[in-house]
Amino acid sequence: MGVITAVSLRKGHHFSKTNSLSIRLLKGLGVDGDAHMGETVKHRSRVAKDPNQPNLRQVHLIHEELFDELAPKSFTVRPGEMGENVTTRGIDLLGLPTGTRLHLGDSAVVQVTGLRNPCIQIDRFQKGLMAATLDKDANGNLIRKAGVMSIVLAGGDVRPGDPIRVELPDGPHRALEPA
């Protein structure tokens, strides 16, 4: 079982989010008060393409182990700074199949929709960080390490220290792709 180490949100469209004592997840919408909350897509580049597409990126989760991996490469990253709403520890977020449900705290449930596809904003935050969040597997396939995106299936308040329970979808499992 994993644990939530931080929760973050921000009203305006900014790269980093502000840590909070708690966030409220709203079913079908996302994080109450966050710029990316809504039934339809809110990420500006996606809105420009089609503002009516469904928002599959309501809640962004990053594993805190990524920050540990980046530290020896001279990157200092703290929870919320890469734009995530929920920072986790103890769960292999990137290894989860599409459709996995994560039970956050007492009542909130999110469903993983895909990988976060890192963009140039990461390099504007810290030069070279985008390349550091990408890797290649033994076959030369790109590995995206900047977390996962999800939608809210059941609302509730989420706090640092809350447990995370993983509910895998019925098989066959499908690997995560960029959301």
With a CB cutoff of 8 Å and minimum separation 6, the contacts of 22 are: 7, 157, 158, 159
41 within domain boundaries? yes
pLDDT over threshold 80, residue 84 = yes
Round to whole Å and give the CA distance between 143 and 65: 15
Q: Would residue 172 count as lying in a domain?
A: no
Q: Quick one: pLDDT at residue 118? A: 82
Residue 128's domain comprises 2-167
Is the per-residue pLDDT at 117 higher than 90? no
Which parts of the chain are beta strand (E)?
Answer: 2-9, 18-20, 23-26, 30-31, 59-63, 86-89, 101-104, 108-115, 134-136, 142-144, 148-154, 156-158, 163-167
Pull the structure tokens for residue 14.
């900014």
In total, how many domains does the chain have?
1
Residue 82 falls inside a structural domain: yes
- Rounded to an integer, the average pLDDT of 135-164 is 96
Question: Does position 113 have pLDDT exceeding 80, yes or no?
Answer: yes
Mean pLDDT (whole number) for 161-167 = 98
Q: Please tell me what DSSP assigns to residue 178.
A: B
- CATH number for 148: 2.40.33.20
